[in-house]
Chains A and B, each alone.
Chain A
Amino acid sequence: MAETLTLATRDGTSAGTGPDPASPLAVRGLTVSYGEKPALFSVDATFPVGAMAAIVGPNGAGKSTLLKASLGLIPSVSGLVTVFGQPIAAARDRIAYVPQRASVDWDFPTTVTDVVLMGRYRKLGLFRRVTRAECALATDALGRVGMEGFASRQIGQLSGGQQQRVFLARALAQEADLYLLDEPFAGVDAATERAIIEVLKALKAEGKSVIAVHHDLSTVAEYFDHVFLVNVRAMAEGPVATTFTPEALAQTYGGRLAATHLDQLALVRG
């Protein structure tokens, strides 16, 4: 019967294949709802290995939801998620996660080093001593984000940009192959944004995969090489050069954005 149903096949959705074992994060038919309203509907996505990928879409389009549901942080109505071809539970050691800065209480009684060492929890477990090597790793991670001078600082004393760098350092300490970042540039200063993007580019150069929820359309082309456009449903996915087009953005954001802002964006004209 399959041949008899050659109806609309959406561009960019691979037909009929299972999850790609090489992909650092592949999602099939992911539906998540808050109440009776889908936040994501039947989303398919296959992020390429060794790429800097952005998840882009309007507010309330389910960008962060996609990340959280992929990690199993929130329940999904349906869907299959694989990380490097494995179910998420088997691949936790290969994932580093940077949650939204605002998701935690920065008044918590702890220090910068302590937060970074949380990234080593899967290696340390309940009792293993924090060795000199672990400490060196944490210091190195702080150095990579330009925060080496803040190691013993109370986290409540950090600025927003510094908080974000600490979260990134914790992810670096996880020594993962896939880095998932939820709005890493939200509310940070320009210096921090540059520092973060340098770190992410260095990760990519090491062959790691990076996926970030991103809201600033003007920097997508500059920062990322792969883009996933989403507005409850998957709108387009592919290399920035061919996918991040005015047409795709108009489709994702609705007409208004196309009419007013698209000309100002550094877009690759498809």
Chain B
Amino acid sequence: MSGFLDALLLQAGYNAALVAIGAALLGFAAGTAGTFLFLRKRALVSDAVAHATLPGVGLAFLVMVALGGEGRNLGGLLIGSALSAWAGLLLVEWIARRTRLAEDAAIGAVLSVFFGFGVVLLTVIQTLDRGRQAGLEDFLLGSTAGMLFQDAVIIATGGALVVAAIWVLRRPMTLVAFDAGYATALGVDTRRVDLAMMGLVMAVTVIGLKLVGLILVVALLIIPAVTARFWTNRVEVVLWTAGILGGASGYVGAALSASAPDLPTGPIIVLIAAGLFALSLLFAPARGILAAALSHRRFQARVHRRQGLLALVRSEPIHDPLTLRILRAEGLIRPDGVATDEGRALAAKIARDERRWDVARAVHQDTSLTGRYDGLTPIEEVFTADQIADFDVRLGAPHAVGA
């Protein structure tokens, strides 16, 4: 536990501190870049990008070895992975645009084929003398164990650069993510913004390779954005909330992993993010499952109550068992189905409001007002007290209930 605290407070060594900072920056960048993808409904494009890095890693290794280098230089491997990720991305776009295949099929084809080719290259590398301890498998699941100082520096700087780029590009990207058509009308070059967005996603993926691995970096791009969506309807707020959620997951996950040798960094970070997602899915106000279920039940009860009262107004028998149960439970009808005084009073009010609506719809030319005649919206919400008084005048003397 104290090890965890040390790591949280960046006291667990220079490398661990750099990794934790790098993971936080990476998480933040992934959360925000992922939000753009999510709002553009292209979340799984990141999956194709991530899997498409593998052949690049393998090719970069082979090229560096062929040039007489060491082959394991992280910078070189990351450049290779970026190039093949970019190729994969372009292929997805090309297939989806130029053939009848939908984007999901294009994503699946590219990710599996690139990954398969990458695995072929890995087996080639394993047969080389210098390939035996290449450790390229670490790129599948990420590994911070035995990470070099310069690797940690690359991750931290890369994370900082991506965050800076997102800050610079936040306005056009928010516009495009929210409403591409509107952005075009404003003169924003949607295609270039989309490319910039994809460039950021690719950068996050590449930087995340060593830390969380190519399979799980997808999680950092998707989960925080989806989680943030549960808490707010405003684009900017989703964006920064996702960034903070991603950053927190990265930081805490890296710290946890540094304090316990058998906790691999990538999965821990992802599971923390997934835990936050599960909590939000269940408990977020308004959009969470519990809140939605409760409000649906309330809505259903409102509908049935209103319909029941309208039936009383029209002296129609009520057949629907749920309507009967709700009216009985609220004491509006007796067990034998006859209206109570309270039920009659409410029915009279509803009858009056219905007549007011009739007048209002005849008087007012504005469809946006009369369009709210949906059976549930109280007339007081749509018209002012003065207007309603005016309707009452046009209605003539109030009808006596029970007369």
Contact = CB atoms under 8 A, between A and B. Distances in A.
A129 interface: no
B314 interface: yes
A151 B376 CA distance: 50
Contacts of B234: none
A254 B316 contact: no
Contacts of B339: 1, 5
B192 interface: no
A6 B299 contact: no
A250 B303 CA distance: 26
A38 B375 contact: yes
Contact of A29 (B100, B312, B320, B361): B320
B313 A8 contact: yes
A217 B344 CA distance: 40
A33 B303 contact: yes
Interface stretch (B119-127, B140-148, B167-175, B363-371): B363-371
A9 B314 contact: yes
Given A5-B402, A254-B370, A233 B319 contact: no
B351 A233 contact: no
Nearest to B371: A254
Contact of A8 (B299, B351, B371): B351
Interface string A248-264: 00110111100100000
A42 interface: yes
Interface residues of B, number: 44
B300 interface: yes
A73 B255 CA distance: 51
Interface in A162-211: none
A2 B339 CA distance: 9
B6 interface: no
Interface stretch (A12-20, A84-92, A118-126, A136-144): A12-20
B186 interface: no
B317 A41 contact: no
Contacts of B361: 251, 254
Contact of B315 (A5, A38, A58, A231): A5
B365 A259 contact: yes
A57 to B, nearest CB: 11
B295 A6 contact: no
Interface string B304-318: 101100111111110
Contacts of B303: 31, 33, 38, 41-42, 77-78
A31 B361 CA distance: 21
Q: For the complex, would chain A's binding face be called helix, strand, loop or mixed by DSSP majority? A: mixed
B41 interface: no
Nearest to A251: B361
B62 interface: no
A28 B318 CA distance: 10
Nearest to A31: B303
B348 to A, nearest CB: 7
Interface string A228-256: 00011100000000000000001101111
A255 B320 contact: no
Nearest to A79: B320
A107 interface: yes
Interface string B355-390: 100100110111100110111100000000000000
A37 B296 CA distance: 11
The 5 lowest CB-CB distance pairs between A and B, nearest first, are A41-B375, A255-B365, A254-B367, A7-B351, A16-B316
Interface of A: 1-10, 13, 15-16, 18, 28-29, 31, 33, 36-38, 41-42, 58, 77-78, 80, 107, 231-233, 250-251, 253-256, 259
28 contacts: A1-B344, A4-B402, A5-B313, A5-B344, A6-B315, A7-B313, A7-B401, A8-B313, A8-B351, A8-B355, A10-B314, A13-B314, A15-B315, A15-B316, A16-B314, A16-B316, A16-B317, A29-B307, A38-B374, A41-B303, A41-B376, A77-B303, A78-B303, A80-B319, A80-B320, A231-B371, A255-B364, A255-B367
Interface of B: 100, 295, 299-300, 303-304, 306-307, 310-317, 319-320, 322-323, 338-339, 344, 347-348, 351, 354-355, 358, 361-362, 364-367, 370-371, 373-376, 399, 401-402
Given A232-B373, A254-B370, 18 more contacts: A3-B315, A5-B313, A7-B348, A8-B313, A8-B314, A8-B355, A9-B315, A16-B314, A16-B315, A29-B307, A29-B320, A42-B310, A77-B304, A78-B303, A233-B374, A254-B371, A255-B365, A256-B366
